[in-house]
């Protein structure tokens, strides 16, 4: 490795070393078993499950081994050393970790008492904020931060200018008691902090969700002076397992946002001969003109759309049922995934993560505890949990009372049509203000399912009678039906008294981004067809009349407030245009 680092630096490359951390729980194909591992304490879940190939950061033998290993790497003089996303305690096969004897000893010292392991999850994750949960988060977070400090010290012993950082994982952003920002700064020492976000093309065929998840993390880091690059991973590769189109859409879409600094684009199959899979790199080269075009169309503009309001730290104050449910910690960990962003991005509703926007915010669940009243001035899309929280805070949302219930379908009032098979959604029977405008009802019983409401302060809300976080994220009949899309498109202008920048309906899983120039005279629109059906000559309705248009990867014509494409958008294809 030392020869390779030296050789590549001589060729003018910035050279990084990508290093495993605590282990993913199983040996990856490029790993080799080490003679040291038998002495390391394994990461352990609250249920007693042990990750045989994942090691606790409190273990002194592990710390000593890694200190000398990272110091040796630093002596090879790479520019960057980066830990993989196994730098984590959770997102593993158990419900809550780490519960090894080392962590439990520190936890018991923190709380001043010993609690049986069998009761830990219950005392930590029932009710609202409590000292057991706060102490748990502190002990877990400190163990990660202290390990990061130790690694920084190892590097500094050789060269303070070598950059050190890590790939984030889902739990790192809150559930493990710290966040990617704090870790990046500890790792960085005197150098500029960096991190790789979590959310990759291989996570699912609806790749727009990985894009939005990445944008959310980038927004959290917006004012932190951290270099951010994204997870362009196609694990386990090659293309007969994960096609290159997922990677290319991911790359193009994030490039259009301009919200990250670059991409760690995993195009080489590092388990095989370097010539075995050339398809990813071939398509990367082929799409250079598209990337250049996106920079030209979007580089001087800012994304506009509905604001996805998702706070980074929710776990400590999360209000949970007083009655314990085994495995509840897994639910809490998964609240990192935003149902709001998923609802919008899969229904072709443009989004932003900026707090300065003329459009409404979508605020689901516990996020409502944190949003300020003045941030609701352009209206908000809420689930019933958020509506109830705001009501408890003294903000009238039109909600009078609610209780959980089961229904078989949703009748959309104006359309006089019912969508059935929605049982994956956690629904509520609600009573709302007499002045609310009911848009849909649950069946049987015609109970209110969604409504529009304006309070005496002039704040406007569009409310769904569901708990979005406790609903199956793939409840397509509920979240993705055409009536839902149209009701969102109709509600948003009512909420904020402003038209959406672009509308394109009835193309399932179309992902649309819109960006506007500072003078508001130019608008760029990107359309990503994240579906197996082609989009046949789509029509896009704009917010105002424009007189000029330029196209990228498509052909079409501008008709005032409408753009008509004369070309199809193929499955997992892309088109864009700019109007002035």
Q: Tell me phi and psi for residue 109, to 5 degrees.
A: -65, -40
Task: Give the residue among 310, 302, 295 at the shortest CA–CA distance from 358.
Answer: 302
Which pair of structure tokens corresponds to residue 568?
A: 């199809």
Q: Flag whether pLDDT at 30 surpasses 50.
A: no
Query: Going by C-beta distance under 8 Å and a sequence separation of 6 or more, which residues neighbour residue 32?
Result: none
Q: How far apart are CA 264 and CA 253, in angstroms?
A: 15
pLDDT value at residue 253 = 99
Confidence of residue 25 (pLDDT cuts 50, 70, 90): confident
Q: How far apart are CA 306 and CA 349, in angstroms?
A: 7
Cα separation values, 555 from 379, 504, 549, 558, Å: 36, 16, 10, 10
Average pLDDT on 322-346 reads 96
pLDDT tens, residue by residue, 373-419: 999 999 999 999 999 999 999 999 999 999 999 999 999 999 999 99
pLDDT value at residue 355 = 83
Using CA atoms in the order 147, 15, 32, 200, what is the torsion angle rounded to 10 degrees?
Answer: 80
pLDDT tens, residue by residue, 282-309: 999 999 999 999 999 999 999 999 999 9
Q: Which of 38-52, 441-455, 497-511 has the lowest mean pLDDT?
A: 38-52
Task: Give the residue among 493, 491, 500, 499 at the shortest CA–CA distance from 525.
Answer: 500
pLDDT tens, residue by residue, 220-272: 999 999 999 999 999 999 999 999 999 999 999 999 999 999 999 999 988 89
pLDDT tens, residue by residue, 59-113: 999 999 999 999 999 999 999 999 999 999 999 988 899 999 999 999 999 999 9
Q: Tell me phi and psi for residue 385, to 5 degrees.
A: -65, -45
Sign of the CA dihedral with 481 first, then 485, 486, and 491 last? positive
Sign of the CA dihedral with 346 first, then 349, 353, and 355 last? negative
CA 290 from centre of chain = 25
Cα separation values, 141 from 151, 179, 220, 406, Å: 16, 8, 18, 39
Average pLDDT on 544-548 reads 98
Query: Running DSSP on this structure, what letter comes out for residue 482?
Result: H
Confidence of residue 39 (pLDDT cuts 50, 70, 90): confident
pLDDT value at residue 28 = 46
Q: Flag whether pLDDT at 29 surpasses 70.
A: no
pLDDT value at residue 93 = 87
pLDDT value at residue 35 = 64
pLDDT value at residue 223 = 95
Cis peptide before 238 (omega within 30 of 0): yes
Domains delineated in the chain = 16-190 (3.20.20.80), 197-286 (no CATH), 306-348+360-497 (3.40.50), 510-579 (2.60.40)
Q: Tell me phi and psi for residue 414, to 5 degrees.
A: -65, -35
Average pLDDT on 542-550 reads 98
**Is the model's pTM score more than 0.95?**
yes
On whether the CB atoms of residues 439 and 413 are closer than 8 A, the answer is yes
């Amino acid at each position: 490795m030392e020869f390779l680092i030296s050789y590549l630096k001589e060729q003018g490359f910035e050279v990084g070393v990508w290093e495993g951390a605590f282990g993913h729980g199983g040996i990856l194909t490029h790993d080799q078993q080490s003679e040291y591992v038998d002495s390391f304490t394994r990461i352990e879940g609250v249920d007693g499950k042990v990750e045989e190939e994942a090691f606790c950061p409190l273990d002194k033998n592990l710390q000593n081994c890694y200190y000398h290993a990272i110091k040796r790497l630093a002596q090879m003089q790479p520019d960057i050393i980066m830990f993989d996303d196994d730098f984590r305690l959770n997102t593993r096969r158990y419900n809550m970790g780490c519960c090894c004897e080392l962590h439990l000893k520190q936890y018991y010292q923190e709380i001043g008492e010993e609690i049986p392991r069998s009761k830990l999850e219950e005392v930590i994750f029932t009710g609202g904020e409590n000292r057991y949960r706060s102490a748990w988060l502190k002990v877990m977070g400190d163990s990660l931060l202290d390990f990061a400090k130790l690694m920084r010290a190892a590097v500094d012993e050789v060269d303070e200018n070598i950059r050190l950082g890590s790939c984030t994982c889902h739990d790192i952003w809150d559930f493990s008691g710290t966040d990617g920002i704090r870790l990046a700064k500890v790792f960085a020492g005197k150098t500029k902090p960096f991190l790789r976000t979590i959310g990759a093309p291989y996570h699912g065929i609806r790749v727009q969700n990985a894009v939005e998840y990445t944008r959310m993390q980038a927004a959290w880091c917006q004012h932190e002076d951290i270099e951010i690059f994204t997870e362009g991973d196609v694990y386990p590769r090659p293309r007969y397992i994960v096609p290159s189109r997922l990677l290319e859409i991911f790359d193009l879409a994030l490039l259009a946002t301009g919200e990250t600094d670059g991409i760690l684009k995993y195009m080489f199959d590092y388990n095989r001969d370097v010539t075995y899979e050339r398809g990813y790199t071939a398509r990367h080269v082929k799409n250079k003109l598209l990337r250049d075009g996106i920079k030209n169309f979007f580089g001087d503009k800012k994304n506009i759309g509905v604001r996805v309001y998702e706070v980074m730290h929710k776990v400590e104050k999360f209000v949970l049922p007083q009655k314990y449910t085994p495995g509840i910690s897994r639910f809490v960990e998964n609240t990192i995934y935003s149902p709001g962003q998923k609802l919008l991005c899969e229904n072709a509703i443009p989004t932003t993560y900026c707090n300065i926007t003329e459009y409404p915010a979508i605020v689901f669940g516990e996020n409502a505890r944190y949003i300020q009243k003045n941030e609701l001035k352009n209206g908000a899309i809420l689930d019933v949990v958020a509506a109830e929280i705001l009501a408890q805070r003294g903000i009238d949302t039109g909600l009078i009372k609610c209780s959980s219930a089961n229904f078989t379908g949703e009748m959309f009032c104006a359309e006089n049509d019912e969508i059935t098979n929605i049982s994956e959604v956690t629904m509520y029977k609600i009573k709302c203000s007499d002045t609310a405008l009911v848009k849909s009802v649950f069946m049987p019983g015609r109970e209110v399912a969604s409504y529009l409401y304006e309070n005496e302060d002039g704040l406007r809300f569009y409310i769904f009678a569901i708990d979005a976080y406790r609903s199956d994220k793939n409840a397509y009949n509920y979240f993705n039906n055409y009536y839902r899309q149209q009701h969102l498109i109709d509600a948003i202008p009512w909420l904020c008294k402003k038209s959406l920048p672009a509308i394109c309906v009835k193309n399932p899983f179309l992902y649309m981004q819109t960006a506007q120039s500072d003078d508001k005279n130019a608008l760029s629109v990107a359309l990503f067809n994240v579906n197996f059906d082609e989009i046949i000559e789509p029509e896009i309705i704009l917010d105002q009349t424009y007189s000029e248009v330029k196209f990228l990867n498509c052909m079409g014509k501008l008709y005032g407030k409408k753009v008509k494409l004369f070309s199809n958008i193929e499955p997992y294809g892309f088109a864009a245009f700019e109007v002035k």
